Homo-oligomer: A and B are copies of this chain.
């Protein structure tokens, strides 16, 4: 069986939902659908989820909530009218919103409950429409389904036992329509996931029922070898491993949230990216092991900006037991996470996301701690670094990847600030100045992919 997930853009209007219904109807293997809230219909449209957040703001700040509520209901009305299904649902929806506002006193829990309505209402009306067109479908809440989560508002973590509960969904005679993005806590509160939204629900359900395939329908057909905004017509990836997806998780590969892969990764359930607007195309397939080895050792190149490096020199550093460990402890104490730790004999660098210093952890405090606890001979900081990462499971079999890449960079006069290649040889990281980032990406890309475009 297949678990299918549809994103907000696939469910933003009656017209889109009809496409979705056809997709479900067209394949008897598609037994469970996880749905998002209605997304934007156009660039300056408002997502239903954002309307619900606005409702929460108005309510908690004592403003009138009528308009906010009716705007939400209007949006669903236009969908329901377009689908020509029972308008009685609209009253239920409105009562649900009002009930939440009246009964939930905790600000945070109210926000989760309101946000969940976007997916929940959509699941109900999609189920109704499917039945109307002759598909035996049934709406099922995350609670009924068995998606049990921890109860920190907006930061739900799945409780492992949910997978067993979910397993019984296999037996259902109905096509189940489950709202994404949230679960039920033990004392029955609605709690939303921190990231990944419906992607994560889809992955959890796919794993629970041990699906043969998790189809993730969105508005693109493929994951591309590089950011389409930076590379014109980048190469479309047909097959990519979970690990490659992760290595590419920097900018340009946000097709879906990499944390959403964790549940299916564990059980090696393949994921297929599909385009609701072009369902005939088999999109990018994410797998544990490739079926075929591509002619290209490199599958993708990502490029992300906004990194800072802290470098320290200390004579005889590498004779000093625990130097690196103590440095990393300092970063942890400041709640900083780091990307790479390139080193020489007596020097060490850490690469971190610069934005982390906007918050509570001040760079100068970190430097002070480093000077104080590690007594280096020198510490220096470089901002405005970009990381270009080239990824491919095939790289380890190929001699000369580094050459091909570094040649591309030096020919384009890009100075490589740092290089990092781990033993897994699935990726190679190059730190460059931010001003060189796009030039670097284009240079490397054309070096690898130009030939195979034709």
Contacts and interface: CB of A to CB of B under 8 A. Distances in A.
A28 interface: no
Interface in A342-377: 342-349
A325 interface: yes
Given A243-B313, A315-B242, A422 B426 contact: no
A247 B345 contact: yes
Contact of A349 (B406, B407, B423): B423
A15 interface: no
Nearest to A266: B315
Contacts of A421: 342, 416, 418-420
Identical copies of this chain, number? 2
Nearest to A397: B415
Contact of A403 (B309, B337, B409): B409
Contact of A343 (B266, B313, B340): B340
Interface in A405-454: 406-407, 409-410, 413-429, 431
A386 to B, nearest CB: 14
A223 to B, nearest CB: 16
A328 interface: yes
A318 interface: yes
Nearest to A261: B315
Interface string A241-280: 0110011010000000011011001100000000000000
A426 B347 contact: yes
A344 B422 contact: yes
Contact of A382 (B342, B423, B429): B423
A400 interface: yes
A405 to B, nearest CB: 8
B403 A407 contact: yes
Contacts of A345: 246-247, 249, 389, 427
A327 to B, nearest CB: 9
Nearest to A316: B262
A349 B424 contact: yes
B246 A316 contact: yes
B414 A399 contact: yes
A321 B343 contact: no
B422 A399 contact: no
A348 B338 CA distance: 13
Given A243-B346, A318-B337, A324-B328, A410 B399 contact: yes
A356 to B, nearest CB: 12
A289 to B, nearest CB: 13
A322 interface: yes
Contacts of A338: 324
Given A344-B427, A345-B389, 15 more contacts: A243-B313, A243-B346, A259-B319, A261-B315, A313-B424, A318-B337, A325-B332, A344-B420, A345-B427, A347-B422, A399-B413, A402-B402, A402-B419, A403-B407, A418-B421
Interface of A: 242-243, 246-247, 249, 258-259, 261-262, 265-266, 309, 311, 313, 315-316, 318-319, 321-322, 324-325, 328-329, 332, 335, 337-349, 382, 389, 399-400, 402-403, 406-407, 409-410, 413-429, 431
23 contacts: A243-B346, A259-B316, A262-B316, A322-B332, A324-B338, A325-B325, A325-B332, A341-B343, A342-B421, A342-B423, A344-B429, A347-B424, A348-B422, A382-B423, A399-B410, A400-B410, A402-B419, A403-B406, A403-B407, A403-B409, A407-B407, A416-B421, A420-B420
